[in-house]
Structure 1
Amino acid sequence: MAAMAAPVLCMALVALAAAVSIGEAAVVEHTFVVHEMNVTHLCNTTKIYVVNGQFPGPTLDVTDGDTVVVRVANRLDHGLTIHWHGVRQIRSCWADGAGFVTECPIPPGGDHTYRFNLTGQVGTLWWHAHVTCLRATINGAIVVRPKDGRYPFPAPAGDVPVLIGEWWQLDLLELDRRMADGNFDDNPLSATINGKLGDLSNCSGAPEESLVLDVVRGETYLLRIVNTALFSEYYFKVAGHTFTVVGADANYLTPFETDMVTVAPGEAIDVLLTADAPPGHYHMVALANQPPEPDLQIPLFVSRGLVRYAGVRGDNNGLPVPVPLMPDQHNTMPSYYFHGNLTGLAYPGRHRVPAHVDERLFVTLGLGSLCRGGRTACKRRRSNETIVVATMNNVSFHHPTTTALLERYYDGASEGVYTEDFPDNPPRPYNYTNRDLIPPGPLEEALEPTFKATKLRRFRYNTSVEIVFQSTALLQSDSNPMHLHGYDFFVLAQGLGNFNPKRDVKKFNYHNPQLRNTVQVPRTGWAAVRFVTDNPGMWYLHCHFEFHIAMGMATAFIVENGPTPETSLPPPPPEFKRCGANGLTQP
């Protein structure tokens, strides 16, 4: 397997990429060939889906202001799109790559060219497949460097993408089919760091390969940590070392020191690691957390890599290799405190919190159930008569399968495809974080009935929107990493329990909140965000746990055109293929 090899400290463009200068900016071009590949781990050979033979895939290395052009050649027997996670896509919604939202999938044997500009963002983003569960192995980092080469912190000696993910033996297409049927009992076999399982996993006594990061004592390195996993939030530590957190989601943060990073699916966290420990070898560990019982339990997922100082013998000079002390896997409070410590590093032009609010939404995040076979009555409480689905304000999103929402909106042909009545509030208030709503119940039984629908929400251009996301304990008590395409939003506050506007609005940070594209809504807690609808188009909003999105924890926001051509969505670009041209028929 051509996984990321031991350690290069400055990532270079792959051979298939080229940069053509245009003044101070450049056009950065790549070709992504998506194909199957057999890989052997844990004594089993598994078919996986990759780009250019790599897991993770190629890193896009660009500079603020560059234009990116990626030709995707689909050599799978299944359609897919590529989403450029966190890229603002200003007036280029057609290139967002959200399957059946902004485009229909690239058909088997087909190709598609994505073209977009990256301006006003510096740091780490990532790209991934956005149809079914394929993003588990079809993913890679996007490194956006400052125009002048200057950071608001000491320049690192090198930088390394650290992509935390999962190793699945189950075919990812079969996994998606099972989740669509309400089955989320399947699990990966291991965590991964840059595609490597680490030496804690073994088969017949032969340990798996680990990521090795070579460092020089006294130097500082920028680690670009991304969670690409389908299922879990991860704790990440390096024995004997601390981190300085300096950025997240391609936005700078006020630096703060910590010995552990918490990264939820969809998040990208930039940290500085200084090699200031006595020369030796030190283990890095990525550990998945999860709620305790009575939530359904999953196995322990952990991967381990190595930080290796120059000049130290391969046997660590005969000494044991230190291992970091990790939190209990069921302790989610370190995540809550880590995310609560993040504040933005203000800079002119972007870091101005809207002082007023035009539209307020209160959105509950939980699970529900549907009766199988279209029946109106059935036995609930996770019986075989129901399908468990995920919901937002008690609506489980029905994903289109033959057409793209953006096309229908642009053509004025939405009838029969979607409605614009996504609710601003849950239909029925209740004690959202009551732990007795977690099965075996019986309190959840009256609240779990729901329905499937494609309900969207429309906003006028330049509307100030505030959303309070409320995680619930209905059928489970997971956290929810909520990702909004096409936008960064200010994270004003987070809290535990039920949001109380009379009490909790006083906690809002209007001075230096973090600016993010993904917010981790705490387990049985809430998070408040605010943004201005200054980017017209059709923008997907969803939880980044794959089982939640497949089960319906999603919607889309329509943002209308502004008053001028410069504030309006242009027509589809020449390279855009409409759904009919993709080999898919519209209903």
Structure 2
Amino acid sequence: MAALPTGMAAVVEHTFVVSQVNVTRLCKETLVTLVNGQLPGPAIEVTEGDSVVVHVVNRSPYNMTIHWHGVKQRLNCWADGVPMITQCPIMPSRNFTYRFNVAGQEGTLWWHAHVPCLRSTLHGALIIRPRHGAASYPFPKPDKEIPIVIGEWWDMDLAQLDRNTVNGVLVDVPTGSTINGKLGDLYNCSAASASEGAVEQEDGFVLEVESGKTYLLRLMNAALFSEYYLKIAGHTMTVVASDANYVKPYATAVVAIAPGETMDVLVAADAPPGRYYIAALAIQAPEPDVQVPLTITRGIVQYTTNVDDVPAPVMMPDMPNQHDTTGSFYFHGNLSSLRRHRVPARADEHMLVTLSLGSVCRDGGQSCARSDSDESIIVGTMNDVSFRAPTAAVVSLLEAHYYRRDDMAAAAGVELRALPDTPRRVFNFTDPAYIPYGPKEAPLEPTEKQTMVRRFRHGAVVEVVFQDTAVMQSDSNPMHLHGHDMFVLAHGLGNYDAARDVASYNLVDPPLKNTVVVPRLGWVAVRFVADNPGTWYIHCHFDFHLSMGMVAVFIVEDGSTVDTSLPPPPDDLPKCGSNKGGLDLPPVEFFYLQNEQSRETVPGK
């Protein structure tokens, strides 16, 4: 970091070398893709108002982008890091430098690859501290701050995991869960170097604390597949922020955190000196949803006071039931903003967006067998349409939009369709009878794949009600909007009813979030101001839902002044394909392109 006088903004510079490394877990060596050989990757620590410069050197065999999750990128959509939406990807053996600032934000965010499934190992913390130091926190100053990343370990090729998901093969599950990249002592294997029959335990995360001190845990969920409950035996946590927005302090024994979310919690080291487990348990929907093995991991909170006298046994917290999804519902419902914001009293645009599964015919036709038949592929949908990613593109969607190309669709390699205000089909969205494959759900499956976008004029107030459905599954859905924070006005179980539910809207102190958990068989109402011009991804942060197409793009138009209009792209923005129509590859091959030489072109103006 450049040395500057106290109170002045600095330039924080990093180099991220993306490469493949052999990592041994569970007595098995797995080739994984990492930044600088680290898992989690390097933490970026800055002060509000600083500028960030990250040189990405792609030594992996995959096309690559990095997304700075939760950074608003004001007038800087070019740095948002979504392949073919905001930029062409960084091809193997190529470099690109991301430049952005963090003005007007403070708290815990994170970064991750925006390449299907690779964010499982390509992620790290992005911590923004207050300009005037920790003394200006709106809560007691902690003695120490600890980033904690909940993740998953997969002992399979992550590119193959994505290919399986895109092709409707939904049988893969993680090998285990991790805290800061470590599996913990619940996992073991035969020790190759030990005597026959010996067992070797995996290393676990250890947090050393001193009696009487307070710790700020910066929690991030980087998992691909699961929301998690987190508990510390013998201790209470106080939630003070979420998604880099302060909330009214909320004391709780358990935190629920979904993929994409961050939670800042204070923990006082006020228990008798000893060793206590910190445990993370994956939540899954109950039957009749398809069940997968229980996934849990744990580390240790260890008091350093009189450490020689600490008893050997470790206390394990009493964890919630893995199928108790109502715990997450009430946890998120207890969050409210610490600071009063000017919540728009009325919305200019209203949308009801259903989040569901559907199916398309494997041969591209309109008629085929459904209900998990080999003739069809299961896809994720928003308002009954599955997202088709641009692939055979000359430029990204953002470049096509910026240069006002008349042939925007042709340049992007896709035909753009408008995301409708309401779903095509109206039924009892949350009827559990639709969960199992069979004659009742089959008529609701047929859908299509389109590149769905929705345009908003600059400054429009947009209200979206996300409605979960029971079609073929009943997962919750952590919906992440790039480039904006959303006011979470209300949420509920069952079907949204405007006549009943608008009266429950919190227009006084709703929490501001970039990732909103739509509860299982329920709904959530959000409102945001579309005042950041660009092409912004809106998607479920479960990676299997993302790969399956639970995605759309919100296009925010320029305002009437230079200060409300998107500047030109950086000169070194990566280029796509060739002037003859780009790479023209299927989506998975495009993102996992190996040993292909780049063919550069200059986007048309």
User: Is TM (by shorter chain) over 0.5?
Assistant: yes
Pairing 1:110-509 to 2, within 5 Å after superposition:
110-149=94-133, 150-204=136-190, 205-313=199-307, 317-347=310-340, 351-403=341-393, 404-411=396-403, 412=405, 413-416=407-410, 417-509=414-506
Displacement, 1:378?
Answer: 1.1
> Counterpart of 2:184 in 1: which secondary structure?
coil
C-alpha separation in 2, matches of 1:127 and 1:317:
38
Q: Is the 8 Å Cα contact of residues 275 and 310 (structure 2) preserved in structure 1?
A: no
Partners of 1:105 and 1:131 within 8 A in 2: no
Q: List per-residue Cα deviations over 1:250-275 (Å, max 9, x = no partner).
A: 10000010010000000000000100
The 8 Å contact of residues 66 and 112 in structure 2, kept in 1 or not, is answered as yes
- Contact 1:461–1:535 (Cα < 8 Å) also in 2: yes
- The 8 Å contact of residues 244 and 271 in structure 1, kept in 2 or not, is answered as yes
Tell me if structure 1 keeps the 8 A contact 2:72–2:483: yes
Quote how far apart the aligned CAs of 1:575 are. 3.1
Offset of residue 391 of structure 1: 0.2
Q: 2:50 aligns with which of 57, 66, 82?
A: 66
CA distance, structure 2, for counterparts of residue 306 and residue 372 of structure 1: 48
Shift, 1:443, TM fit: 1.1
Tell me what 2:594 maps to. none
Per-residue deviation, residues 187-238 of structure 1 (Å, max 9, x unmatched): 1100000000000000122110010001110100000000000000000000
Match for residue 63 of structure 2 among 55, 67, 79: 79
Say which SS state the counterpart of residue 282 (structure 1) adopts.
strand
Of 72, 81, 95, which aligns to 1:97?
A: 81
C-alpha displacement at 1:298, in angstroms? 1.4
Q: Aligned partners of 1:117, 1:551: CA distance in 2, in Å?
A: 32
Distance 2:600 2:170 in 1: 29
Q: What is the distance in 2 between the residues matched to 1:513 and 1:572?
A: 35
Residue 335 of structure 1 and its aligned partner are, at CA, apart by 0.4
Distance 2:463 2:120 in 1: 31
Say whether the 8 Å CA contact 1:215–1:307 is kept in structure 2: yes
1:420 Cα shift? 4.5
3-state SS, counterpart of residue 247 of structure 2? strand
Q: CA deviation at 1:62?
A: 0.3
- State the Cα deviation string for residues 507-558 of structure 1 (Å, max 9, x = none): 1100000000000000000000001111000100000000000000000010
Deviations 1:10-30 (A, max 9, x none): xxxxxxxx3343871010000
Q: Deviations over 1:26-49 (max 9, x none)?
A: 100000000000011111100011
SS of alignment partner, residue 409 of structure 1? helix
Aligned-residue CA RMSD in angstroms?
A: 1.5
Q: Which ranges of 4 or more aligned residues in structure 1 deviate by more than 4 Å?
A: 584-587
Partner Cα separation in structure 1 for residue 227 and residue 202 of structure 2: 22
* Distance in 2 (alpha carbons) for counterparts of 1:73 and 1:26: 23
Deviation at 1:185, TM superposition (A): 1.0
- 1:132 deviates by 1.6
TM-score, scaled relative to structure 1: 0.94
Distance across 1 between alignment mates of 2:307 and 2:268 = 21
Aligned-partner SS, 1:378 = coil
Amino acid at match of 1:19: A
> Which amino acid letter does the alignment assign opposite residue 281 of structure 2?
L
Q: Is the 8 A contact 2:417 2:450 kept in 1?
A: no
Does the 8 Å contact 1:21/1:27 carry over to 2?
no
Specify the SS of the correspondent of 1:373: coil
| Residue 537 (structure 2) aligns with | 540
Deviations 1:393-426 (A, max 9, x none): 0010001124321112122231342424111100
- Counterparts in 2 of 1:18-29, with a 5 A limit? 18-21=1-4, 24-29=8-13
Q: Is the 8 A contact 1:175 1:186 kept in 2?
A: yes
| Deviation, structure 1 residue 579 | 2.2
The separation in 2 between residues aligned to 1:46 and 1:430, in whole angstroms, is 46
Query: TM-score, normalised on structure 2?
Result: 0.92
Contact 1:418/1:456 (8 A) holds in 2: no
Contact 2:359 2:377 in 1 (8 A): yes
Letter in structure 1 aligned against 2:89: P
Picking from 549, 574, 587, the partner of 1:577 is: 574
Separation of aligned partners in 1, 2:488 and 2:599: 41
Structure 1 residues 122 and 254: alpha-carbon distance in aligned structure 2, compared to 1, 3 A threshold: same
> CA shift at 1:50, angstroms?
0.3
SS in 2 for 1:132: coil
Once the 2 structures are TM-superposed, how far is the Cα of residue 320 of structure 1 from its aligned partner? 1.8
SS class of match (2:401)? helix
> 2 CA distance for matches of 1:440 and 1:407?
42
Aligned with 1:550 (options 534, 547, 550):
547
Distance 2:424 2:331 in 1: 33
* Secondary structure in 1 matching 2:360: strand
Shift of 1:577: 2.4
Distance apart, 1:317 and its partner CA? 3.0
- Given residue 276 of structure 2, which amino acid in structure 1 is its aligned partner? Y
**Partner SS for 2:502:** helix
Query: Identity across aligned pairs (percent)?
Result: 57
Q: SS state of the match for residue 409, structure 2?
A: coil
**How many pairs are equivalent?**
566
Q: Does the CA-based 8 Å contact 1:378-1:386 persist in structure 2?
A: yes
Q: Corresponding residue for 1:5?
A: none
Unaligned runs of 5+ in 2: 191-198, 579-597
CA shift, 1:186, in A, is 0.5
Q: Distance in 2 between matches of 1:584 and 1:436?
A: 52
